[in-house]
Homo-oligomer: A and B are copies of this chain.
């Protein structure tokens, strides 16, 4: 690399580090607001958040950075594979920021703020028609964003790209169609089988004891508590604030399920954030690869481990010790069947491993049509209910458990939903590869040793950050093309046995 190029690359990385630090500040502010900010703090927090967003935009679209990116993009061979990835990643963010006009960004922010407030009210009132004008506005704005960002085949590509860089709508559609055709008959078959007991999980679990158990579990999963925290918030989330500081949250209700599997889910996200490469932190390829890959980590620990019979061979006795009055007479097998109960239901967030992806696919199919203009917002409930009936054999009785249940569209998260299903699919593929690489894995789980699996994920997934696009990361980690095969095998085997399919 010649002197001039080296200087330019150094400057580029310094600007990227500054942007990464701003992102960390925003993350900390967000965590603080969700977890412990006093109620009246919101009056000062809102303008502060807007100022930091403005600074991020200013720095990301700075002409000097644009010059550096343009110059470095002409020399990617000189920069080597890693340097080229750095330029690719910041270039992508720079172009998105530059191409979307400030007025449009502000309009989305404003409509989000109005729409989420109205959505909250109308969901409570089960009143979709009153929500229509704001949702129409949001869809119109997101379509404008897609047009501003630009796309080749499908405007939805431009929205998807924000959450799943490089993914193409037509590939995702093919994948999810495949999954849908696989799942619908299984859901129908299971719906005809007897429902196992699960009432013993539903109440009487003390929050303080759940918290203690949760802390024990996340450390068993290999989360380093000297480089992170566990707190309580209304909506669980994980924030990788910066190197050495990853924070997850959970919540406790009277039942065991929400708290414990919520914690396992967030621990999956948190392990990913905690084990991103320390050296790459503060560079463009430092962050997690994509939302799909992120979700693969949470779902792997929540489901492939957290609803695995072998895992509970090791840990169920511990749960019984925490809650003897509730569980001393419940056998491991009864517990295992209860935590793997499959039942068509209206609410995505309460759904099981088998039906979950159908909830996602329904949303994905609908939002593609909304963005392409083939579906009008006012016709949404009818389309929702028709699809729902065909997927689950049920018709939602009201909008609050139907089309109004998720905040995503009100919040402008269009293109986000499919990453949940990609996560489930990737999770199965990673787990299958880990099992091939470590034939003793199930035995390790049964002995309570989870660190081998964690280390495999660190080595194959976590430490790479954004070095490779998601599909390439999957190839490198698993040795195979991204595919739904492992997911199907997993579901067929596990639930075939559980429900005698």
Give the interface of A toward B (CB within 8 A). Answer: 17-18, 21-22, 24-25, 28-29, 32, 36-45, 47-48, 51-52, 54-55, 224-229, 241-245, 278, 281-282
Contact = CB atoms under 8 A, between A and B. Distances in A.
Contacts of A281: 44
Contacts of A51: 17-18, 21-22
Contact of A245 (B28, B40, B227, B278): B40
Given A51-B18, A229-B38, A245 B45 contact: yes
A56 to B, nearest CB: 11
Contact of A41 (B37, B41, B52, B227): B227
A21 B38 contact: no
A225 B36 CA distance: 12
A70 B44 CA distance: 29
A227 B47 contact: no
Contacts of A228: 38
Enumerate the 3 nearest inter-chain pairs by beta-carbon distance, A residue then B residue, closest first: A44-B242, A41-B245, A44-B243
Contacts of A25: 25, 29, 48, 52
A313 B125 CA distance: 54
A47 B282 contact: yes
A247 to B, nearest CB: 8
Given A25-B29, A47-B282, A40 B242 contact: no
A224 B43 CA distance: 15
A224 B37 CA distance: 13
A48 B21 contact: yes
Give chain A's interface secondary structure class: helix
A257 B226 CA distance: 32
A28 B54 CA distance: 19
B224 A40 contact: yes
A228 B40 CA distance: 8
Contacts of A54: 18
B41 A244 contact: yes
Nearest to A226: B39
B226 A40 contact: yes
A27 to B, nearest CB: 10
Contact of A227 (B22, B40, B241): B40
Given A32-B28, A228-B38, A244 B21 contact: no
Contacts of A226: 38-40
Nearest to A31: B32
A226 B36 CA distance: 11
Contacts of A45: 242, 244-245
Contacts of A38: 225-229, 244-245
Contacts of A55: 18, 55
Nearest to A274: B40
Nearest to A240: B44
B44 A241 contact: yes
Given A21-B48, A39-B227, A43-B278, 17 more contacts: A17-B51, A21-B51, A21-B52, A22-B51, A25-B52, A28-B32, A37-B245, A38-B228, A38-B245, A40-B224, A43-B243, A44-B242, A44-B244, A44-B282, A45-B244, A47-B282, A55-B55
A493 B243 CA distance: 57
Which of A24, A224, A281 has the most C-beta atoms of chain B within 10 angstroms of its own C-beta? A24
A461 to B, nearest CB: 21
B44 A245 contact: yes
Nearest to A231: B36
A281 B40 CA distance: 14
